[in-house]
Amino acid sequence: MERLTLPPGGAAAVDEYLEYRRIVGEDDGGKLFTPEEYEEYKKKVLPVRLQHRYKQHKTDFETVPQQRPIELPCRVTGCQCKAYHYVPLNGTQPVRCRCKHFADQHSAALGFPCNSCSRCSGFHSCFTCACGQPAYAHDTVVETQQERLAQGKPVGRDVPYAAMGGLTGFSSLAEGYMRLDDSGIGAPSVAVLDSPVSAVDHPFLRALQMPSTSAAQTLTGGNEVGPSTQISSLRKPEEDDMAYFERQYQERVSVCGNLLA
């Protein structure tokens, strides 16, 4: 493999070029902007590409707006977005439109046409959410606590200041179906966490929480199980940490798989 060696200051030049490409994309038509053109371009385009930042939209109201849906107007001068519109991430990476360009390469104006190609009529991502539905099947909805309670929807705790948004704990950062409770307000109480595992709990949880022999007997209603299906808690002399934990995990999976089949 060929190894590249950069001259002094070369790494900074590469970083500047990557930033240029990230901001400009294909808008320069293949010919690099001059420094003056680049600065002018950033003044005109960057405010438009900030439309997806929640903190740059109005979220504090002296009185709650009467119109529905509630819109969160942008505070950035010159931005054409009508209101805050959430765009999901794929892990830490932004999702792409079906035209292969990112959301910040699309116009903030209603319809969100692409600025980097002519074949795209508007931002439309086929990225699939953890709930199993594509991104375009989701809507950004702003509701008051009273409205959600009236609809029987979950709410979180009141936050001490507006900058926290809806974050009330680490659980709030998780996908809805992965949260420890319906509202995402955090971990259940100590009483819930310390409560004994019962017959209504998931079989996998019962297998993990109970001794190996009693776990297998409980899952099968007291029927006898062979030695191959019992989880061994003893560590073998030749096993390192990773091998021991992997064997424990595979044995638990095998027990639950056999008993649930």
* Pair 242, 171 in one domain: no
* Pair 59, 138 in one domain: yes
- 134 falls within a domain: yes
Tokens describing residue 79: 């931005």
Task: List, for residues 197-241, the tens digit of each pLDDT value.
Answer: 777 776 666 666 655 444 445 444 554 444 444 445 566 777 777
- 29 falls within a domain: no
Task: List, for residues 91-109, the tens digit of each pLDDT value.
Answer: 778 889 999 998 888 888 8
* Pair 93, 136 in one domain: yes
- 30 falls within a domain: no
Q: What is the number of structural domains in the chain? A: 3
Residue 123 has what pLDDT? Answer: 92
* Pair 113, 134 in one domain: yes
Q: Is the pTM of this model over 0.85?
A: no
Single-letter amino acid, residue 16: E
Q: In a 10 Å sphere around its CB, with 0-12 CB exposed, 13-18 middle and 19+ buried, how is residue 219 labelled?
A: buried
For residue 118, the Cα-to-chain-centroid distance in whole angstroms is 30
Mean pLDDT to the nearest integer, 235-249:
76
Please name the residue ranges forming H helices in 51-171. Answer: 145-150
What's the domain range around 210?
198-260
Which element (helix H / strand E) includes 90? strand 89-90
Q: Is 29 left (phi over 0), alpha (psi -120 to 50) or beta?
A: left
- 37 falls within a domain: no
Residue 97 has what pLDDT? Answer: 92
* Pair 136, 69 in one domain: yes
* Pair 66, 87 in one domain: yes
Among the three residues 189, 217, 246, which one is the final residue of a domain in this structure?
189
Torsion angle, alpha carbons of 75, 77, 79, 84, to 10: 0
* Pair 156, 137 in one domain: no
- Any bridge partners for residue 96, and if so which? 102
Task: List, for residues 132-189, the tens digit of each pLDDT value.
Answer: 888 888 888 888 888 988 988 877 777 666 666 666 666 666 766 566 655 555 556 6
Task: List, for residues 3-45, the tens digit of each pLDDT value.
Answer: 777 777 777 888 788 778 767 777 787 888 888 888 887 766 6
What is the band of 247 on the pLDDT scale with cuts at 50, 70, 90?
confident
d(CA 155, CA 144): 10
- 86 falls within a domain: yes
- Number of CB atoms found within 10 A of residue 186's CB: 16
